[in-house]
Amino acid sequence: MKSKQIVCSKEGLHVAIIMDGNGRWATRQGKPRYFGHQIGAERARRIIEAAPKNGISTLTLYAFSSDNWHRPKYEVDFLMNLFQSYLKTEIDKCVEKGVRLIFIGRRDRLNPSLVNLMNTAESRTIYGTNLNLRVAIDYSARDAILTAAHKLNHDHPITREEFSALLNNHTAGYSVPSEVDLLIRTGGEQRLSDFLLWESAYAELYFTRVMWPDFHPYHLKRIIQKFHQRERRFGRVPLAEAI
């Protein structure tokens, strides 16, 4: 049997995860939705720790979409407070373990104290080399593309790479590739929900029914193994036909 060839956009994988199913998981347990978010935050911690062991150099987590503002206020407030508490406890750990934190999405609608904490986290972890951890909060891929388009100089055509740089202007000063190799969505839904639309143009997609609070490092390991069995052609013909 001919072995598959995996082609990555860089050294180490960029894996993006839509962490879906927290609320539904809690409801099925007979508990309030916020309980699912609490467990989900702990699950994120374990997946972050497991990422480098699975060949992941960049991990992007979808924490809060721009459309999530439409959720009940009590749930939004809980999520923001949870995120802020999580950051307070994790910054030192990220520094210790060489994890660089980068936040993508809007910041103007977030609580100033949270924004200050995010800025502090980025500054303190900037020299982390074991993992680039990108967290999407108040994020919309379509809005990000529109914002980048508004920055264009229409008198001078640009390349895809230059547009990607505009799109990821929030990571100015960070040499972090944005092209996604593998996008995982938990919770059973099979859609991208306005997440990394440009960056996922050639990403392999993996949808699982496992709810995020039940998603363990061994699930991640198994998905990565399946990813390495796929042949990524980027528009080219299969290797067997090219020979």
Q: Which residue has the tokens 């306005």?
A: 194
DSSP string for residues in 191-242 = S--SSSTTTTTT-EEEE-SS-GGG--HHHHHHHHHHHTTS---TTSPPHHHH
CA angle 243, 180, 80 (to 5 degrees): 165
Q: Tell me if residue 68 is catalytic.
A: yes
| Annotated catalytic residue, options 22, 54, 67, 68 | 68
Q: Tell me if residue 20 is catalytic.
A: yes
Tokens at 155, concatenated = 């008198």
Sheet holding 56-65, edge to edge: 99-104, 131-139, 56-65, 13-18, 182-185, 204-207
| Annotated catalytic residue, options 20, 22, 132, 138 | 20
Q: Which residues are catalytic?
A: 20, 68
